[in-house]
Structure 1
């Protein structure tokens, strides 16, 4: 693993090309100076939201800050699938036999389970054809089909952002919003805003993302007192607000959002609402991520140690827990503990582990902290698709 391939090294390189000091870049990106220096030195592993802030300040696409590792067959295969899925909304194939929403719903539910389980290859096998069927069903049956189509487009969004295609992720999010509005369900629209805010944050538009969160919270918070589904959706918006505010260095705003998310799901089980994992455990995961981005390793590790993942907790969320725990260990200067956490992340969701830019950044930061790469670290690098 070459040091000049790390996210931090690339940030430093582009910063110098732009003629900026570290302090000037930190100010322009509204991130902490000490955090930027730690990332550049390889002592901290950044989140995708944080990298988006830096890329925006540098005036470049965030993909330029991630390492260009050896080509992965899986990565190459997924691009035409996403493009095919998002190709058009009004050019239905007349040769396709129409199906009812009730007949299509089991496949949509299965794709949602695969998405939460990080089974991306399975999604790719059926997604384009399913979207074709749902577009026809929407034309024939209206709102119920568009609700299902929203969830199908969410799978496309997941494929796009997991594999680093931010432009296609934005397209998928807009397709989701179009379908959600046609579903006639304001809570489904709000749930899409939760995802759109993340897409905006990943391209450096964190302030716009926070405005979207605040506006959507105001739109639905009146429903939350009497509607458990509305309360669950509202909790996800506060979770997202908490993590994005952390990348903007707004510690109080971040913690207030996350405290409100925790209050809203108090007494609720960990479950899935409108295709999104909600509940107390998921709030804790967002708190860990936020504290790492705020530079508070001790707080993040305290939350991680108090978090007990349910046996049936979604694999995708499980791997996020372990990656962010690894990031906290790196921030605390403990690469050996980071390796153990990354091992757990790989075990939880191998496909996510190989695709994730955050994982690659964490593995490289671990390599920068270890004076001599251990066998465990080399194993992780191979699993993440990183060449020596």
Structure 2
């Protein structure tokens, strides 16, 4: 597994040079301009997920590999190995007796670590939690027990996707769906489909992900009712708008994005405040953060910033796992409109609220690379973020 401490644009340059390719050759194979590729590599422009997906094809890589897999601390490698082992042993439940109450408490604790983006501590807790949940599901064989196991696999997927460990992410969503299929659970099936579509998102197959989302929405609309249906349809539409925003055909992307935005807004009407169920969040606030990100991915930074005019109110009460990416997206949009100081301010806010996420978030690292490149001279904020990120100015 290739890991890197490079920001995505610098990682792209290293991948290209490692193959002995010129910028002209790669740009021609990817059907993008040499000027754009050059600006990305030197740090004048951010490498966006959509462009990374296009460049991944001629390189024979996934989008995640172009963005660069994140590393873990040396003392976390044993925990990562233990987690991989627990995922492999999905049908080997062990002989330990596990009480349902203990599983529920451990799941809540893991959920809090996920919401607070405490990725190092989460990695330490997941191997035992996964083995205990596996043993309990096989022993109890109830809807709730299998749903709890599915939730653990969802958290494994979340952790793997944040680090771009796509082999583990794809295996986790396969196990998640397997667990939920042991006992009928329409809401669990919808959430598992949402995570599965995430593997398409991170792999750069945006069309495939949209197919998964649309199929899951149709199933949720017929199998669920009331707020549960609104919640399931809502979280799926959030995934759908993200996938649509990253389509290279921006005309088609806008059409698909608007369809999912409208559907998400309708579902959000069922909620006064956002719900957090199974550590997925849906409601009017999280819908607004996704609309901002989607407008940005569609190449409309001014529209993205307009959607963020009341951003402090939008983010109020949301967990760090949602606040930090939104601040990073705002920084990306501000870079695109030439507001370097605003971009630096929002990037600093992302670091303050969720330092572990911002360190491994590809756009968090990429925005810092471009901000530091465009500033004529360093300042205390840049120096602070350089130290936190481990990225030189």
Give the alignment's TM-score, normalised by structure 2: 0.86
Cα deviation, residue 87, structure 1 = 2.5
Counterpart residue number, 1:87: 88
Correspondence list, 1:366-377, <5 A? 366-377=371-382
Secondary structure of the residue that 1:89 maps to in structure 2? coil
Distance 1:385 1:61, change over 3 A: farther
Q: Distance in 2 between matches of 1:338 and 1:115?
A: 26
Correspondence list, 1:27-38, <5 A? none
List gaps (5 residues or longer) in structure 1: none
Secondary structure of the residue that 2:276 maps to in structure 1? strand
Secondary structure of the residue that 1:376 maps to in structure 2? helix
Distance 1:298 1:370, change over 3 A: same
Distance 1:192 1:103, change over 3 A: same
Cα deviation, residue 305, structure 1 = 1.6
Q: Distance in 2 between matches of 1:70 and 1:138?
A: 32
Q: Deviations over 1:167-211 (max 9, x none)?
A: 111111111111122242022111111111111121122111111
Distance 1:321 1:136, change over 3 A: same
1:347 aligns to 2:345 (yes or no): no
Q: Retained in 2: the 8 A contact 1:78–1:159?
A: no
Secondary structure of the residue that 1:277 maps to in structure 2? strand
Correspondence list, 1:308-347, <5 A? 308-347=313-352
Secondary structure of the residue that 1:382 maps to in structure 2? helix
Cα deviation, residue 311, structure 1 = 3.8
Moved more, 13-22 or 143-152: 13-22
Q: Retained in 2: the 8 A contact 1:85–1:156?
A: no
Q: Retained in 2: the 8 A contact 1:117–1:315?
A: yes
Secondary structure of the residue that 1:272 maps to in structure 2? strand
Give the alignment's TM-score, normalised by structure 1: 0.88
Counterpart residue number, 1:254: 257
Q: Distance in 2 between matches of 1:272 and 1:328?
A: 27
Structure scoring higher RCO (CA < 8 A, sep ≥ 6) equals 1
Q: Retained in 2: the 8 A contact 1:333–1:369?
A: no
1:124 aligns to 2:146 (yes or no): no
Cα deviation, residue 272, structure 1 = 0.8
Counterpart residue number, 1:295: 299
Q: Deviations over 1:273-308 (max 9, x none)?
A: 232111111111111111111111100111112332
Q: Retained in 2: the 8 A contact 1:101–1:144?
A: no
Distance 1:215 1:71, change over 3 A: closer
Counterpart residue number, 1:270: 274
Counterpart residue number, 1:58: 59
Matched residue pairs, number? 378
Q: Retained in 2: the 8 A contact 1:335–1:366?
A: yes
Counterpart residue number, 1:154: 154
